[in-house]
Amino acid sequence: MSTTNVERVLFERPQSLVALPFPYCPGCSHGIINRLVAEVVDSLGISERVVGVTSIGCSVRCWKHFTYDMVQAAHGRAPAVATGLRRVMPDRIIFTYQGDGDLAAIGTAEALHSAARGERITIFFVNNAIYGATGGQMAPTTLLGQKTSSSPYGRDPVAAGFPIRVAELLATLPAPGYIARVGVFDAANVNRARRAVQRAFEVQMEGKGFSLVEFLASCPTNLKMDPVKANEWVQKELQQYFPLGQFKSPEE
Ligand SMILES: Cc1ncc(C[n+]2csc(CCOP(=O)(O)OP(=O)(O)O)c2C)c(N)n1
Ligand code: SF4
């Protein structure tokens, strides 16, 4: 009696992800999010048309992990660079990849105005509630009472204001086509996040304007927690202030 060995591939590197180990700390969400972007680019078959723009922070390191064209902008300026690329290359699919210090502090104007113009670009916004690359200072998304290296007694709203809900803020504008907030803290949410990344690219490709996906993310190093505890903190604490959901879609 003969037996047939059927090989099933359960897990493999996306084609548009370079065969290099990620440089991020153990438990950092950037690796998962980089991978999701690469998976969706592969499944949509758009790797020849995609251009990514990074700016500054741990987020910038993704540029050498994607096989497609990547451009590096100054801190916070990725949406402005993406706008320039859009104007000269109308057939390309353009995304930015930005942290919360980058997008919601130094780069607030660029993100807000590209959304207000309905610029046909996609922003992947990684909200880990802290400045990762520079040693864990307070970000615009740091929770009230959260201790950081620049708020050692916890964020005080009188001195530092309230955390900014970027997805909800940009969803008040008429022009954006798609805005969602997702988590990557468990398998079910990673799958939902993948669908959001895909929808964001599709909205751009269908000519329906600006799209943004905000990811609730974990920075165990600066939260000073192990990866499991940091993930739980994102799921329990961060998610409470930043609810997951779709805030804008072309179907509305
Ligand atoms: C003009 C300018 N100002 C300040 C800095 C210092 N700086 C580098 S990364 C960063 C914050 C990055 O934090 P975030 O965007 O949250 O990204 P993460 O590292 O968490 O991915 C800052 C303030 C800089 N490089 N350039
Ligand atoms: S410092 Fe934080 S954001 Fe940067 S790689 Fe490490 S865990 Fe990730």
**224 falls in which pLDDT band (50, 70, 90)?**
very high
Mutate to test the pocket of ligand 1, among 56, 59, 123, 223 (most ligand atoms within 8 A of CB): 56
Supply the CATH number for residue 191's domain: 3.40.50.970
How many angstroms separate the alpha carbon of residue 176 from the centre of ligand 2? 29
Decide if 47 is inside a domain: yes
Please name the residue whose Cα sits nearest to atom 1 of ligand 2.
132
Decide if 139 is inside a domain: no
Decide if 239 is inside a domain: yes
Give me the mean pLDDT over the 98-126 stretch.
Answer: 98
Distance CA 129, CA 214 (A): 12
Residue whose pair of structure tokens reads 């192990």 in the numeric block:
226
What ligand has the least distance to the C-alpha of 226?
Answer: 2
Q: Locate the ligand 1 atom nearest the alpha carbon of residue 130 and give its number.
A: 16
Query: How many structural domains is the chain composed of?
Result: 1
HEC per residue, 152-187? CCCECHHHHCCCCCHHHHHHCCCCCCEEEEEECCCH
Sheet holding 69-72, edge to edge: 69-72, 50-54, 93-99, 122-127, 211-216, 178-183, 245-248
Which of 143, 114, 135, 164 is closest to 57 using CA atoms? 135
pLDDT tens digit string along 11-64? 899 999 999 999 999 999 999 999 999 999 999 999 999 999 999 999 999 999
State pTM to two decimals: 0.96
Mutate to test the pocket of ligand 2, among 128, 130, 134, 233 (most ligand atoms within 8 A of CB): 128
Its domain, for residue 53, covers: 30-129+163-248
What ligand has the least distance to the C-alpha of 231?
Answer: 2
Decide if 18 is inside a domain: no
Decide if 17 is inside a domain: no
Largest CA distance in the chain: 78
pLDDT tens digit string along 163-206? 999 999 999 999 999 999 999 999 999 999 999 999 999 999 99
How many angstroms separate the alpha carbon of residue 135 from the centre of ligand 2? 9
Using alpha carbons only, how large is the chain's radius of gyration in Å?
18
Which of 134, 143, 132, 105 is closest to 242 using CA atoms? 143
Decide if 51 is inside a domain: yes
Decide if 82 is inside a domain: yes
